[in-house]
Amino acid sequence: MRRKSIGDQELALLQYIAEQGEASVGEVAAGFGEARGLARSTVLTMMERLRAKAYLQRGQGDGGVYRYSTTAQQEDVVRSAVGNFVEKTLQGSVSPFVAWMSQRTEVSDDELAELQALVATLQSKRKES
């Protein structure tokens, strides 16, 4: 089942909760929302939207306070966000992204090796088809 897309702010909130393991609305509002000028009610709305999109789950914590946790691995969420960006913003073409990457001045050896491995995988898949 394909999930609904999420925005940049939702992705950042989701990553924050993933780093915490689980968190209440109050904890997220204090640790994530305050630094971004977001009211507690805005944080709650974002968390409930992510829950409706099946990115978060809500469980009963101590004292009746809801605790939220992620339902997906962070890599899957980021991969989905990148896929949505390529489809919606770049109209399905990775060429603008590759052009942007080629202009970056700071690419680590590890990143370069990872990119080379991805290209090799793509070439291998292309030969198979």
pLDDT in tens, 27-39: 999 999 999 999 9
Number of domains present in the structure of the chain: 1
* pTM of the predicted structure, to 2 decimals: 0.69
Provide the residue range defining the domain that includes 15: 1-93
Structural domain includes residue 115: no
What is the model's pLDDT at position 94? 86
pLDDT tens digit sequence for 89-99 = 889 898 888 88
DSSP states of 20-87 as a string?
Answer: HSSB-HHHHIIIIIGGGT--HHHHHHHHHHHHHTTSEEEEE-GGG-EEEEESS-HHHHHHHHHHHHHH
Give domain status of residue 26, yes or no: yes
pLDDT per residue as tens digits for the range 38-85:
999 999 999 999 999 999 999 987 888 999 999 987 787 778 778 878
